[in-house]
Structure 1
Amino acid sequence: MAINWFPGHMAKTRREIKENLKLVDAIIEIRDARLVASSKNPDIDDLCGNKPRIILLNKSDLSEERVTKEWIKYLSNDNIKVIGVNCITGNGLKGIKPLLNELLKEKHDRMTAKGIVNIVDRVMVVGIPNVGKSTFINKMAKNNIAKTGDRPGVTRSRQWIKTKIGMELMDTPGILWPKLESDETQLNLAFTGAIKDEIMDIEELALKLIEKLQTDYPDRLMARYKLTELSEEPLENMNSIGRKRGAVVSGGQIDYNRVAVLLLDEFRGGKLGAISLERP
């Protein structure tokens, strides 16, 4: 399944990130805790260079806690700090300021020595579409300054947002990279909605998701859709889900589009339980 989605505003955003780096002290990069590798834009490392960075593994309530802890250990170093969060509930967000203080200790020490008490850190927020950047910013600002939506591509222009913890956030639109090399990366991003459903064959996508779940999380699939057994064939399992959920049209045929929409919505909403699509 070949997927490439690189609207013009994304190329512009790459230029803006590079130009605006000199205005910020640190980077907050948001990824999806369910697909930590796939939700990383590989351009971010090159664009951000050695800027201190905090990686937020958002939607960590939807991923396996054990796997998320493995990712935190794997990604952390002196210049990069990692925490699992939920940007909707705010769980984990209190850990950001201590990590930022740790990363920017030299700057804070210099300013304190000059007698400056109210130190404000300027931070750029980056990430691919639909990982929760706007939700995070709204939570930190405690009002709906940034636009939010459950479809990628909502945030378009740069804006500064003040918070109450001595931190100003620069929002940036979500960017994907021009060519998604790996089939696994393409599928993982599509499963979670980081790529617009409108450009996808969602029936084929749902079939691929069933194939993934029947291998890695068969018990979850069976429990959610009340299946007594799973076939080795994903299409047979899709048929079984359709029959269990009444997605049948005249003549007893399965309404595959309805099954696809149902399955993807329930997976994205966490109704199949905590699932990690990737491990370090």
Structure 2
Amino acid sequence: MSIQWFPGHMHKARLEIEATLPRVDIVIEVLDARIPYSSENPMLAELRGEKLCLKVLAKSDMADETMTQRWIEHFESKQAVRACAVTTEDVPTIRRIKLLIERMVGRRDGKMINAMIVGIPNVGKSTLINHLANRKIAKTGNTPAVTQQQQRVNISDTVTLLDTPGVLWPNVHNPNSGYRLALLGSIKDTAMDYADVGFFAAKFLIANHAERLADRFGLDEVPPTELELIEAIGRKRGCLGKNNHVDLDRASRILVNEVRTGGLGPLTIESPSTMAWESAQTAAAVAEAEEKAREKDAKRKRRFKAKQKAQRKSREMG
């Protein structure tokens, strides 16, 4: 599924981030621990360059603990990057982020450390800021695009935090990443098809967490296909319409909400190795599409030149 959801305030936020970065000592990027790759904005990585970066894997209580540790090790294998996992319930761990920022940047001789906090929509950034500041500063909510403009927050005597709106990039090329972002609510529901996303979730869960599906929905046996699973969930949860047919949209909404709220237990929907493979496949597909676009443009130009030549010849003969 190709996601293209880039509200005007996000374009403005990108320009503001780009203009502010030279005055920033460290970037804090908040990721969803369930989808660390898909919630990592490549546009932000491009803007950040080699600047110090702290990757904060939020909502880690909803992710697989072992897989979260693998992601931390993956991120810390990169130069100038540290990573940590937090939950909204573990406030002491969140507040230790201030000390980690100070250690990464080093002594400033009394000068304030300027940190920028970034992240895609609905990843828990505002909740994190409120805990760091020990007061309600940022507006929170379960829908994307709550923060609309930059704001500065002093979170200690040494660290100033620049909060930015959640920025999703203009086009998510990896179709699986598009599905994952939609599944966990990082794009507005109006920009997605519930049944489409529900079928994606069903395929992943059948392959990896069949026992959880059986327990959660009271199934004697988990069906082998996505359609059969969605129909089974619909029957169990009363999503029946005319002639006793299952309403696939309603049943899909139930499955999507179970994943979002943790009803199926801690889930990590991508691993570093899987993402390395998907990234390579996506890059190859993008390169192929760009080559086809160049060939199409070249043909168009050749046809245009041939038409001009024919018109000149016609005028000369006339």
TM-score between the two structures when normalised by the length of structure 2: 0.81
Report the CA distance between 1:41 and its aligned residue: 0.5
Query: Tell me, which stretches of 5 or more residues in structure 2 are unaligned?
Result: 273-318
Which position in structure 2 is the counterpart of 1:26? 26
Is 1:182 equivalent to 2:171 in the alignment?
no
CA distance in 1, matches of 2:258, 2:95: 29
**CA displacement 1:223-253 (0-9 Å, x = unmatched):** 1111111222111111111111222234212
Q: Secondary structure at the match of 1:150?
A: coil
**CA displacement 1:20-44 (0-9 Å, x = unmatched):** 1133221110000000100011011
The amino acid of 2:222's aligned partner reads L
CA distance in 2, matches of 1:87, 1:170: 20
Which position in structure 1 is the counterpart of 2:74? 74
The amino acid of 1:154's aligned partner reads V
Of Structure 1 and Structure 2, the greater helix share is in 2
Alignment match of 2:141 (pick from 119, 126, 149)? 149
Which position in structure 2 is the counterpart of 1:17? 17
Which position in structure 2 is the counterpart of 1:139? 131
Is 1:95 equivalent to 2:104 in the alignment?
no
Contact 1:160–1:168, Cα closer than 8 Å, also in 2? yes
Number of corresponding residues: 271
- Flag the structure with larger Rg: 2
Q: How does 1:206-221 map to 2 (within 5 A)?
A: 206-221=198-213
The amino acid of 1:56's aligned partner reads V
Alignment match of 1:124 (pick from 116, 119, 127)? 116
Q: Secondary structure at the match of 1:157?
A: coil
Which position in structure 1 is the counterpart of 2:287? none
Which position in structure 2 is the counterpart of 1:249? 241
**CA displacement 1:191-231 (0-9 Å, x = unmatched):** 10011111211122112111111112111111111111122
Distance change (3 Å), C-alpha of 1:156 and 1:22:
same
Which position in structure 1 is the counterpart of 2:105? 104
CA distance in 1, matches of 2:58, 2:46: 22
Give the superposed CA RMSD: 1.6
**CA displacement 1:157-206 (0-9 Å, x = unmatched):** 11011224632211101111111111111111111001111121112211
TM-score between the two structures when normalised by the length of structure 1: 0.91
Is 1:163 equivalent to 2:164 in the alignment?
no
CA distance in 2, matches of 1:267, 1:28: 26
Which position in structure 2 is the counterpart of 1:54? 54
Which one scores higher on RCO, CA 8 angstroms, separation ≥ 6? Answer: 1
Q: Secondary structure at the match of 1:6?
A: coil
Report the CA distance between 1:78 and its aligned residue: 5.0
**CA displacement 1:48-71 (0-9 Å, x = unmatched):** 122211100011111100000001
CA distance in 2, matches of 1:171, 1:143: 15
| Identity %, equivalent residues | 38
**CA displacement 1:116-162 (0-9 Å, x = unmatched):** 4xx53221110111111111111212222212111111111110112
Runs (4+) of structure 1 exceeding 4 A deviation are none
The amino acid of 2:52's aligned partner reads P
Report the CA distance between 1:10 and its aligned residue: 1.3
Query: Tell me, which stretches of 5 or more residues in structure 1 are unaligned?
Result: none
The amino acid of 1:83's aligned partner reads C
Contact 2:2–2:173, Cα closer than 8 Å, also in 1? no
CA distance in 1, matches of 2:138, 2:154: 12
